[in-house]
Amino acid sequence: MILSIRRGAILATVVATLALLLSTVPSAAAAPANTTWLCNPSMKDDPCDLPNDTTDLGTGVTTPATTVPDADKKVDCFYVYPTVTDQPSFIADKRAVPAVTSIARFQAARFNSQCRMFAPVYRQMTLWGLSPAVAASWVGNRDLPNIGYGDVLRAWREYLRKDNRGRGVIFIGHSQGTMMLRKLIREQVDPDPALRKRVVGAFLMGGNVMTAPGRTTGGDFRNIPTCTREGQPGCVMAYSTEKIGLPSLFGNSALDVLSAPMNLPTGPRYQVACTDPMKISGDRRPVGATTPSKPYAMGVIALLMKYTTFPENLPSTSSTWTTGRGRATLKCTDTLGFHRLHATMVRPQQVNELPLFDTHLLDMNLGVDLLVKIAREQIAAYTA
């Protein structure tokens, strides 16, 4: 009896504290009516529009840039960036701060040769807002993620109204960006046959995309499957990378705490998707991590990146992009119930895992050109 009363008192305290904290959070309706674009073909200074010249430190080869005018790009990409904002609040301002423009260069810009790139700025949960959002979801409050999702949904609708004109779309997201896109595709695209026909592909990394066990659908999406073969259009690539195989926040649906704040499928009745980019690309050669040579903007994410490669820095050359000297093979594995993409280093390069986050910061960049190849083949199949 006493224990029950104490539990009730603790729960009441948690609810009251969260209610007080969340009362200071701006409502979704408080956002400006128009979308603030991070990347858009009409922008002059677009962080997603980088030359693709690359120096590979593993081979010593420098590949010159190839230019593809937007008019020649047959499809569009819709990118939602991960958690990068470290301002001292639960919710980020709706501004393209340096950390946001940096991550667009790191993740989205490599795809720019394949598609016109659209990416909204959204009021994401900051690095300090994620834990409160998870705790709030335990008592049924989803105010924090709903603010950012409202911005993403508004941007998607504006893009459809003003820019899409029936073109095919590739979705690209990572971490919190993947969470936003899981919800957007689940609620707005997957149930709509007309919009579903426009899906060229989706790259939803580091965000616990769910399926029914042993199936390609039946979790987040009823109709849009995960990819199973080379050249398959209209499917989802999804995985989280790891090197050591320790338990983490990614890969195990029974231990997933990230989906609940977005009111997404989660729990032991589902399976976290892992699609093998080497298999789907048809390229089994070991891969390196390819990143922009320009340093990431200073902040918490930059420090975490330094830790990931410590005692070295991210590789840099005079080219716009640099591929590190290390090489890894990639394969989906199920270790202790964690379904993730395992990286086996076959040529050494220092990669340190973050506790509970694996090699999360390299999900997109390790083997990114495999993903670009998959996108290119999806576009070819879609437009054939």
Instruction: Look at the chain and report how many structural domains it folds into.
Output: 1
Q: Is residue 25 part of a domain?
A: no
What are 341-372's pLDDT values in tens digits?
999 999 999 999 999 999 999 999 999 999 99
Virtual torsion, Cα 228, 229, 235, 239, nearest 10 deg: 50
- What pLDDT is attached to residue 307? 94
166 close to 198: Cβ distance less than 8 angstroms: yes
Instruction: Indicate the pTM of the whole model.
Output: 0.93
For the cut 50, the answer to whether the pLDDT of residue 19 exceeds it is no
The widest CA-to-CA distance across the chain, in whole angstroms, is: 73
pLDDT bracket for residue 137 (50, 70, 90): confident
| Sequence-ordered list of residues with C-beta below 8 angstroms from that of 245, at least 6 positions apart, any chain | 333, 335, 336, 338, 342
- What pLDDT is attached to residue 139? 83
pLDDT bracket for residue 33 (50, 70, 90): low
Q: Is residue 2 part of a domain?
A: no
277 close to 377: Cβ distance less than 8 angstroms: no
- Structure letter (DSSP) for residue 40: -
Structural domain boundaries enclosing 217: 37-383
For the cut 60, the answer to whether the pLDDT of residue 29 exceeds it is no
For the cut 90, the answer to whether the pLDDT of residue 21 exceeds it is no
Virtual torsion, Cα 101, 107, 112, 113, nearest 10 deg: 140
Q: Is residue 26 part of a domain?
A: no
- Tell me the average pLDDT across 178-196: 98
pLDDT bracket for residue 32 (50, 70, 90): low
- What pLDDT is attached to residue 22? 46
d(CA 380, CA 384): 6
Tell me the two tokens of residue 179. 């969470």
Among residues 231, 254, 241, which one has the least CA distance to residue 345?
241
pLDDT bracket for residue 249 (50, 70, 90): very high
- What pLDDT is attached to residue 92? 97
Q: Is residue 336 part of a domain?
A: yes
- What pLDDT is attached to residue 3? 34
- What pLDDT is attached to residue 310? 87
- Tell me the average pLDDT across 324-337: 96
- What pLDDT is attached to residue 6? 40
Q: Is residue 235 part of a domain?
A: yes
Least confident span in 42-56, 261-275, 301-315: 301-315
pLDDT bracket for residue 382 (50, 70, 90): very high
The DSSP bridge pattern shows strands 168-174 and 75-80 to be parallel
For the cut 50, the answer to whether the pLDDT of residue 11 exceeds it is no
Q: Is residue 6 part of a domain?
A: no
Q: Is residue 213 part of a domain?
A: yes
Q: Is residue 11 part of a domain?
A: no
353 alpha-carbon distance from chain centroid: 18
